[in-house]
Structure 1
Amino acid sequence: MSGPSPKILLPLSALILLAGCAAVGPDYSPPAAQLPASFGTTPAGLGPGAVEVEWWRGFDEPALTRLVQQALAANHDIAIAAARLDEAKAVLRENRQDFLPRGGPALGYEAVRRSEVETPPGQQREIETYRGAVDASWEIDLFGRVRRSVEAAQAQVGSREALLRGVQASIAAAVAATWFELRGIEAEQAVVDDISRNQRESLEMVDRMLSAGSAHEFDRLRAEALLRNVEAVAPGLEQRRAAASNALAILLGQAPQTFRPPVSTPMGETLAVRTIRVGDPVGLLSRRSDIAAAERNLAAQTAGIGIETAGLYPEVQVRGSIGLVAGNLDALGDAGATSSFLGPVIRWSLLDRGRVRARIAASEARTREALIVYDQTLLRALQETDDAFKGYGAAGQTLELRLLESAANREAANLARVRFMEGEGVYLDVLEAERSDFTSRRALTIARTRQRLAIVGIYKALGGGWEICSQADRACGTADATTQLTTAQEIAARP
């Protein structure tokens, strides 16, 4: 067969030129972020400046730094998020292939036996056909369906990347929080052990005084009751310690049965914290992964409107084939066996316009929802940040008061023992003072833990910590460590 005629090539060339026209549907532009100029009044210890990337180093605990690094490299949630990002990238590559022709080599054999009625006079009833050709089809993206599909896939990649960064930041914060909870429980256990030892000594003292006739059985029973009350706290603390250790093991991607947390030094009376730099609300756009993910999802939904709108217009494809067709294998090499065709195919589902418009309306509704979710995500980020700041201020004030309370109760317990030994007081005063000492010392350890957790909460609310995974020499799960400028940073850089 001869090649395509000019009657086909001319309109085909015009269609190819038209493929460069603008895609149907709305063009996406990032929404204007309604953010305040500053975080307002913040507690003492918080100030402006760039948020620290490896913020966990500020606690000056090498064990914590090692745990965070191990979790970023081995945590399963990070690996899952990274796999989902790889999936989105693969989908994007697939969508980009729609710009290219489809098809390939095709080999065929057909044997037909016609009835006598179907066979024209002088022709054979049995016909064999051998075909070897290259078939191809190409959709001319006249109205931008393919382009919008690629836009949506690109946006989904950005969303998955942001979600991966969010998981990395959350895991770093979870490791730090679990570590401080574990250390806080161990500090409570140390208090229980110390108080139990003092109570045993007090009970032994009362037993000696009872034997000497200078104490009453009532005093011995009260001393024993207080000892048992302190000892009864130990099993619950051990259960909490085991649960925290197991949670830490899961964060590190290890089996709880074989995991042993690193040995740590006791927490000091106070935590020397440098000024925590918190930046400004605009900086949340470049750090908070949930904001970046919501923005990218909005972009994907906007592109979806164009995909559905393209259904109102004709779909234009160019199909072609070139090859050999013959009645037997030997004839395939003959000059007359060459066969080819080229021509456009236009499909226009005019009867489906109602269905298409319904899909467009649904896509527009999803886009409005995505915009509302974006705005809501911004507000929640501001809320979480403000809550974290207020929690940090309250934790610091509580710790100061608990320090004073514990010091006073400890001194009162010592004085009560001395007075009782000198015969100036009753043993009930000793019991009450020791009970108050035990309660205040436990409350002090809890206050120390909450101060540290409050700092972790600030960095979690600010969205910091994932940036370490974008460094080329750091491997975080299965994430690509040499990514380009993140989508969130691109958004923040836009005017």
Structure 2
Amino acid sequence: MSLCYRAVLAPLATLMLLAGCAAVGPDYVAPSLPATQLPARFDELPAGLGPGSVEARWWGAFDEPALTGLVQRALAANHDIAIAAVRLEAARAMLRESRQGFLPRGGPALSYENRRWSEVQTPAGQSRQNETYRGAVDASWEIDLFGRVRRSVEAARAQAGSREALLRGVQASVAAEVAATWFELRGIEAELAVAADTRQSQRDSLSMVERQVNAGAATEFDRLRAEALLRSVEVSVPELERRRDASVNALAILLGEPPQRFTPPAAEPGDQALALRTIAVGKPTALLWRRSDIAAAERALAAATAQIGVETAGLYPEVQVQGSIGVVTGSLDGMSGASALSSFIGPMIRWSLLDTGRVRARIAASEARAREALIVYDQTVLRALQETDDAFKAHGAASNTLRLRLLESAANGEAARLARARFSEGEGVYLDVLEAERADYASRRALTAARTRQRLAVVGIYKALGGGWEVCAQARQPCDGASL
């Protein structure tokens, strides 16, 4: 090996050893929250909630095969999930690109030059016309002496992790939206059934009053009141049908299907009360990894911290090794000769000392963005605690409301039956029948709405806990959304 090459490679070997020792900028440390922000356990849980691991496939607790099928279809065909999956794919591609910074750059280079020199530029005895053929392999390699490339890889890895967490969040959100839309649809259909049953009952009541009018036992005023009550029931049907169609369309979009071609599955008749085993809600600390928004915020903080190092590296020299090997000749015939062989290798150092002010400004901006990311992380954790507490309280209120609505509906139903029986036997006045039937209809609709709210409250708990995406993390479950 020539003395020249030894003089170049010896310091290069030293620089390569130093490159693996340091990286400028702060090293990332996962944030820790005070105990006042993240309690050890959930206190004062309403009835029906308890400790234990949160169920991943939570929609199975409703024991509705139709709902389970809808959730699986949505996870495999939803467009929002597909968008999040593609964004994750792009982030992983950027991570692969950033890792290429550790490797040399370059490749084959071929060139041809035909130059005519001026008479002043041409040395005595040489031709003014000059041709040059060049074929070589050029390469350059940045020695990551101060960790710019390493910090760039750290930032890209954290950004990919944030995208992965966001994908999990979309998967969990879609599962919850499918369940909520399904229960809203079932609730509207139940209200339509109540309206149809009441409408038939009111028609029978109107016929009875008309017979009483003909027999002289009732007045025209009684008949008009009976007809008005029938019309008030009928007038609620068009709006309920509109809401039902809107829910069907929303469900179709969640499943990635055209609304015009979608037909929801038939629901099996359910009980008046939702029979569920105790819902396990886990511990608050589990929210840090289960809630995708918290995980995404933590990864965003890691990326912002790594970016400080990327910008800080701009204060230090950039060391590169450049090299080339090939042939340079004045004709094509001479390219095969040993005399045409050309090569060089040498380090190059760039140091933008005049740009120090700009670099420090970028560092300050990166540090501010890292502080912002930490604040966002803290805020995300607090909001997660708020949402879970709200969901727990909503579940307790919905369960109590449903219990009271069941008692109210039973009482109003019996009162309406007794009022009709008394009037048909010639006792009492028809005004009592009208009031009792109006109260019965209102309480039956309110009971149906209470059942729906109880189911939605359960869905809200699982959504607040961030559950559902764990099913997608397991193998053999298509969860990447709509295919291209």
| Residues 66-85 of structure 1 mapped to structure 2, 5 A cutoff | 66-85=69-88
1:270 aligns with 2:273: yes
Paired residues of 2:133 and 2:332 also in contact (CA < 8 A):
yes
| Residues 311-326 of structure 1 mapped to structure 2, 5 A cutoff | 311-326=314-329
Q: 5+ unaligned residues in a row in structure 2: which ranges? A: none
Paired residues of 1:4 and 1:342 also in contact (CA < 8 A):
no
From 390, 409, 413, the equivalent of 1:410 is 413
1:472 aligns with 2:481: no
Instruction: After TM superposition, give the deviation of residue 33 of structure 1 in Å.
Output: 3.0
**Quick one: which amino acid aligns to residue 173 of structure 1?**
A
Distance (Å, rounded) in 1 between the aligned partners of 2:481 and 2:433: 60
Query: Which segment is superposed worse, 205-214 or 451-460?
Result: 205-214
Instruction: After TM superposition, give the deviation of residue 475 of structure 1 in Å.
Output: 1.4
Distance (Å, rounded) in 1 between the aligned partners of 2:446 and 2:466: 30
Can you list the C-alpha shifts for 1:23-70, whole angstroms capped at 9, x where unaligned? 000000100133101111100111111101111111111000100111
| Residues 111-150 of structure 1 mapped to structure 2, 5 A cutoff | 111-150=114-153
Paired residues of 1:316 and 1:345 also in contact (CA < 8 A):
yes
1:209 aligns with 2:208: no
Can you list the C-alpha shifts for 1:304-344, whole angstroms capped at 9, x where unaligned? 00000001111111100000000000001111101001111
From 342, 347, 354, the equivalent of 2:345 is 342
1:96 aligns with: 99
Distance (Å, rounded) in 1 between the aligned partners of 2:462 and 2:55: 9
Instruction: After TM superposition, give the deviation of residue 3 of structure 1 in Å.
Output: 8.6
1:33 aligns with 2:33: yes
SS in 1 for 2:123: coil
**Quick one: which amino acid aligns to residue 164 of structure 1?**
L
Q: 5+ unaligned residues in a row in structure 1: which ranges? A: 480-495
Q: 1:117 to 1:446 in 2, by over 3 A?
A: same
SS in 2 for 1:25: coil
**Quick one: which amino acid aligns to residue 345 of structure 2?**
L
Instruction: After TM superposition, give the deviation of residue 267 of structure 1 in Å.
Output: 2.6
SS in 2 for 1:257: helix
1:232 aligns with 2:250: no
Paired residues of 2:73 and 2:255 also in contact (CA < 8 A):
yes
Name the TM-score, length of structure 1 as normaliser: 0.95
Distance (Å, rounded) in 1 between the aligned partners of 2:91 and 2:5: 43
Query: Which segment is superposed worse, 233-242 or 7-16?
Result: 7-16
SS in 2 for 1:106: strand
Name the TM-score, length of structure 2 as normaliser: 0.97
Distance (Å, rounded) in 2 between the aligned partners of 1:56 and 1:68: 8
1:399 aligns with: 402
Paired residues of 2:78 and 2:481 also in contact (CA < 8 A):
no
Instruction: After TM superposition, give the deviation of residue 5 of structure 1 in Å.
Output: 2.9
Distance (Å, rounded) in 2 between the aligned partners of 1:170 and 1:15: 50
Q: 1:309 to 1:100 in 2, by over 3 A?
A: same
Instruction: After TM superposition, give the deviation of residue 472 of structure 1 in Å.
Output: 1.4
1:484 aligns with: none
SS in 1 for 2:24: coil
1:163 aligns with 2:169: no
Work out the percentage of aligned pairs sharing the same amino acid.
Answer: 73
From 264, 288, 292, the equivalent of 2:291 is 288
Distance (Å, rounded) in 2 between the aligned partners of 1:286 and 1:370: 17
Can you list the C-alpha shifts for 1:437-465, whole angstroms capped at 9, x where unaligned? 00000000000001111000111111111
Instruction: After TM superposition, give the deviation of residue 174 of structure 1 in Å.
Output: 0.6
Query: Which segment is superposed worse, 264-273 or 193-202?
Result: 264-273
1:493 aligns with: none
1:105 aligns with 2:108: yes
**Quick one: which amino acid aligns to residue 185 of structure 1?**
I
Distance (Å, rounded) in 2 between the aligned partners of 1:100 and 1:329: 33
Paired residues of 1:71 and 1:171 also in contact (CA < 8 A):
yes
SS in 2 for 1:197: helix
**Quick one: which amino acid aligns to residue 108 of structure 1?**
S
1:366 aligns with: 369
SS in 1 for 2:275: coil
CA RMSD of aligned residues (A): 1.4
SS in 1 for 2:259: coil
Distance (Å, rounded) in 1 between the aligned partners of 2:281 and 2:20: 47
1:492 aligns with: none
Instruction: After TM superposition, give the deviation of residue 4 of structure 1 in Å.
Output: 4.5
Can you list the C-alpha shifts for 1:261-294, whole angstroms capped at 9, x where unaligned? 0011233111111011111101111210111000
SS in 2 for 1:50: coil
Instruction: After TM superposition, give the deviation of residue 424 of structure 1 in Å.
Output: 1.6
Paired residues of 1:180 and 1:449 also in contact (CA < 8 A):
yes
SS in 1 for 2:261: coil
From 300, 306, 316, the equivalent of 1:297 is 300
